Amino acid sequence: MTQKGKSDSGSAGSAVLLAVLLVTLVAATVYVFAARLYPAPPPITSTAVLIDRQYDLTLYVAGVVFVLAQLGLAFAVFRFRDRGQPARFTRGNVAAEIIWTSLTFLAFLGLAIAGRNAWAEVRYASPAPDAIQVEVTTTQFVYTFRYPGADGKFGRLDPSLINAPAGNPLGLDPNDRAGNDDIVVPDLTVPVNRPIELLLRSQDVVHNFFVRELRLQQDSVPGMMIPVNFTSNRTGRFEIVCTQLCGLGHSKMHSFLDVVSESEYEAFLKQQAAGQ
Amino acid sequence: MSSTHAPAGSSRGFIRRYIFSTDHKVVGLQYLFLALAAVTLGIILSLLMRFHLVWPAVHLPFVGGGIMTPEQYLALVTMHGTIMVFFVLTTAPQSAFGNYFLPIQIGAPDMAFPTLNMLSFWLTLAAFLCVIAAFLVPGGAPISGWTAYPPLSGLGEVTGPGEGLGQTLWIVSILIFCFASLLGALNFIATTIDMRAPGMTLMRMPLTVWAWFVTAILSLLAFSVLLAGGILLLLDRSAGTSFFLPAGLVVNGELQSHNGGSPLLWQHLFWFFGHPEVYIAILPGMGVVSHILANFSRKPVFGYRAMAFALCAIGFLGFLVWGHHMFVSGMNPYSGLAFSVLTMSIGVPSAIKTFNWLGTLWGGKIQFQTPMLFAIGFVSFFVTGGLSGIFLAQPAVDTMLHATYYVVGHFHIVMGVAAVFGIFAATYYWFPKMFGRRMDERLGKLHFWLTFVGVYCVFMPMHFVGIEGGIRRYADSTGAGYLAALQPLHSFMTIAAFITASAQLIFFYNFFHSLKRGERAATNPWNATTLEWATSSPPPLNNFGDHFPRVHRGPYEYSVPGEKEDFLPQNLAPEGSGATGSREIPQRAYVTGMAMLLSGILMFFMALVSAYFVRKGFSSDWRPLEVPRVLWVATLILLASSGTLVFSRRDLLARQEDGFRHWWGVTAILGLFFLAAEAIAWRQLTAAGVSLGGNPSGSFFYVFAAAHALHLLGGIAALLVVAFRPTTRLTRGTATEVVSLYWHSMNALWVFLFILLLAGAQS
């Protein structure tokens, strides 16, 4: 350890290397994010667009702080490496503390407020009254989707009747007439530009329903019926994945969201009804 | 533990000095070596995981069967997380370095409760062996992650391999670990409050001491809740209760017999512990970094008061944000907004600390020895990891990032890197003091440069994988089609991981080689100011020999204008002498310790009471429980016993020996009568068909009653011990005061629980 007034000749190398690495870190990180080298797939709902905007806003704020802090660190270790100079004695600077604390507080509070809508739209708002309801049942390790059929009513389910090999994966009660026209399928087909309400439930453990393009993710919890809603403004086939660890088949548990035109959706319903 | 250590005046054998030692320095080193063993295992597990993700078809000879199955991968995920979080990140920064250096830095001869300290270590070791045993039992280690969400973790083998005995061993290990942490925490708190040297005010404590102190408070209050949750999970698995398991579960075609429990209840209990836990992992590192930055910049910590305040603020706010792990869990979305705002607020004291670290460097005379390099690295990683957190703190953005690799990148950078850099910094910094020898500086620097670059290469790409939708805890990419495109990033990370892990061998070699062959260290090789540098390297058995320090100034008086040296030791007296003789453990420390124990017990019961209310409101299977009349009698007996205890203490203080003994004995007997009455109530309920697993109100009765009865039994045992054993360190006045505090508190707790049960009988 060096005495006051004497310099540590080993400092220059470490200081330079640290500064160079930090600058490289900043450059590489900013490049990857700015060039959007690994983007999420394009959003297909207006809420997803709101979420993306909030993500971008957060990225700018975090990015600015990241750049300033890492470069500040790089500058400080380089500029104040031991070259024989005495250290500048100070216990702190209350004014500076107050200023940067307040700025941080305002920035974070601002972000929290700005993000309110994106959350509220999905979670607080009830779906439109003409929303198409689809029940989503998760089990180890498949998704099963149920439509109420022409009568618009879901039939009664009884866990003791569940028998997937026999063709009754949900435990539909044959004595309940409302269930006779229920459509039970392994993929989710919905019409474009129509509000969809998904009713998430689970038969065994906690699972999850996640579609990247919807920017929508929700756990399905046994013992609960959890509604989420969305309106897709684009047709296409999108992947549904499970993100909540559910057992050894977790990484294999996936399905598809098919957003189709209104006429294709009607055709789908007719075809399913005819097959019953 | 080195051969150069010759404790002054000790005639104890090898076993008492190095194995079952109550010396906080030995206990601290035992924890350190446990953490080193744990981190080695944890890294090996993670390398197996990273290897499998990129080369899944390659035969691994020691993996049973050759090709790793998904369940084996998930067992690795679970055990890697569990071992790293508990046995490395909770153990090394706090239990290892805190135990070693807290007493010395405050000028004390040892912790307040040395025997309890030793017990804490051995319990921690037992917990470690218990969790490792999960690898060896049929079914193997659990596959539910370190978070162990029920029903996956709550139903036994039917949900998957490893969920049988493996999961049970995991839970038992965690319960033992909770006990060990609680005992350790109350030791740290009592020591910090009651055993500081003369002149060491709170505002003259090193920031390391502040950090260990706040962390201990977090441990005390958080592990109590995990203890409660873990017990309830164990009951769900083996006693037929339904705290977390709802009705109608059909697993693998089998209908389960549970009823009405809430999986979200587990998540709340777990994360109420889990979030403070990550602050427990990082706070000591923050203290060490502040300490080292000042030392090697030759300047005081910038804004010392603000730094101490920020530690407290982070600790406090850390208890209010747990819901940010549960934004998409199905909990009320309005609480999502509340948790989000609180989580963003934690960013404020964190930012204060970052700015002040930069402020400490600013204008300094920076020297780049290895401890300093790791401290500077910590700042960089804390900035990166902290900033990725603000994305996850907002529920709308979290909706697309939850459970992706983005989260994995975030928590690895803050915990797996920043906190570990804190451990490295502490090791290089304090190695000379602990072992009397220096670690090799060139190897240390090489270790730093390779690791700094390496960990950024391993963990930064995880954010990109997550943004593009790569999901965590996936054993492979063969499910959804879009995952295949992420493989190149995974390959890069795996190669970086192997290189970085190899670089750690430099550290291990340096550490163990220097233990025997390192250059001899001086008393104060870093020209530092705090009290650990005022004693020999390593310190004598009671830390300071005959010259216990008196403190005359703050902890970071570097480069004070007008002084000859660029550092002023805390104990350097203006006149020159400064010695105050040896120091005993003050009696008031025992009262503080008991108050802390009671706080932990209170949190434990509050967790159970919260579970009670949540369970009651969650489902419709709640049937009111008729409270047996005999419990009214039991309650009166217990209240009477508080009265007799008061009489007993009054007589003791009036030196009426007979009166004291008489009333003391009556108190113990009344306690036994209470337990007998409770046993009668228990029999009546079981005879009436109220079983542990049937009606949830019955479950809670038995849990509350049993938990309270066990604590009361402990109280009766304490009464007997005080009556029959001559006390050594405690005076009889203190012993009776402390036991009375406990007894009255347990009685008040019973009254509260009894009222709760009565109120529940109405609805």
Mind listing the pLDDT tens digit for each residue in A131-156?
999 999 999 999 999 999 999 999 99
C-alpha span between A80 and A77 (Å, rounded): 6
Cβ atoms within 10 Å, residue B331 = 18
CA distance B741 to chain A (A): 42
HSE-up (13 A, CA, CB side) for residue B333:
20
pLDDT at B9: 40
Contact (CB, 8 A) for A229 and A122: yes
Q: Rounded to the nearest 5°, which phi and psi values hold at A202? A: -140, 145
Q: Does A4 contact B at CB distance below 8 Å?
A: yes
Strands, DSSP E only, in B49-113?
none
Residue B690: half-sphere exposure toward Cβ, Cα within 13 Å? 21
Q: Map residue B316 onto helix, strand or coil.
A: helix
- Please report the pLDDT score of residue B731 as a whole number: 86
- What local confidence, expressed as pLDDT, does residue A202 receive? 97
For chain B positions 374-393, those within 8 Å of chain A (CB to CB) are 376, 379-380, 383-384, 387-388, 390-391, 393
Q: Which tokens sit at B316?
A: 């406090």
What pLDDT is attached to residue A97? 93
Which uninterrupted H or E stretch holds B141?
A: none
Q: Which residue of chain A comes nearest to B258, CA vs CA?
A: A223
**Cα separation, A196 vs A45, whole angstroms:** 12
Give the best residue of A26, A245, A255 to mutate against chain B (max B CB count within 10 A): A245
Q: Find residue A97's DSSP bridge partners.
A: none
Distance in Å, alpha carbon of A244 to nearest chain B alpha carbon = 7
Would you give per-residue pLDDT tens digits along chain A (276 residues)?
554 444 555 678 999 999 999 999 999 999 999 999 999 999 999 999 999 999 999 999 999 999 999 999 999 999 999 999 999 999 999 999 999 999 999 999 899 888 887 788 777 778 889 999 999 999 999 999 999 999 999 999 999 999 999 999 999 999 999 999 999 999 999 999 999 999 999 999 999 999 999 999 999 999 999 999 999 999 999 999 999 999 999 999 999 999 999 999 999 999 999 887
Task: Decide if A30 contacts A70 (C-beta within 8 A).
Answer: no
Q: Is B56 on the interface with A (CB under 8 A)?
A: no
SS3 category, B745: helix
Contact B367 A11 (CB under 8 A): yes
Strand ranges inside B194-285, DSSP E: 250-251, 254-255
User: A199 in contact with B at a CB cutoff of 8 Å?
Assistant: no
Q: What is the pLDDT of residue B66?
A: 81
By CA distance, what is B404's nearest residue in A? A243
pLDDT score of B578 more than 70: no
B143–A247: do the CB atoms touch at under 8 Å? yes
Contact B90, B223 (CB under 8 A): no
Neighbours of B461 (CB within 10 A): 23
pLDDT digits (tens, 9 = 90+) for B30-58: 999 999 999 999 999 999 999 999 999 98
Structure tokens, A102 = 């307040």
Whether omega before B109 lies within 30 degrees of 0, making that bond cis, reads: no
Residue B593 has pLDDT above 80, yes or no: yes
Q: What is the largest CA-CA distance in chain B?
A: 83
Among B380, B395, B385, B352, which residue's Cα sits nearest to residue A111?
A: B395
Phi, psi (rounded to 5 degrees) for A6:
-90, 155
ipTM exceeds 0.90, yes or no:
yes
Q: Is A222 exposed, middle or buried (0-12, 13-18, 19+ CB in 10 A)?
A: buried
Question: How close A242 gets to chain B, by Cα (Å)?
Answer: 8
From the DSSP assignment, how many helices (H) and strands (E) are in chain A? 5, 10
CB A181 within 8 A of CB A269: no
Q: CB under 8 Å to B356, separation ≥6 — which residues?
A: A92, A97, B290, B301, B302, B303, B306, B307, B310
User: Taking a C-beta distance cutoff of 8 angstroms, is the pair A240, A257 a contact?
Assistant: yes
Interface of A with B in 44-83 (CB under 8 A): 50-51, 54-55, 58-59, 61-62, 65-66, 69-70, 72-73, 76-77, 80-82
Residues B641-688: tens digit of each pLDDT: 999 999 999 999 999 989 999 999 999 999 999 999 999 999 999 999
pLDDT, residue B728, reads 73
d(CA B292, CA B142): 40
Nearest one of B707, B682, B695 to B760, comparing CA atoms: B695
B700 contacts: CB under 8 Å, gap ≥ 6: B608, B611, B612, B615, B760
Asked if the Cβ–Cβ distance from B297 to A219 is below 8 Å, we say no
Q: How far is A86 from chain B (nearest CA, A)?
A: 6
- Written as one letter, the residue type at B682 is W
Query: Are the CB atoms for B359 and B301 separated by under 8 Å?
Result: no
Nearest CA-CA partner of B663 in B719, B599, B589: B719
Side-chain-side CA neighbours of residue B650 (13 Å): 7
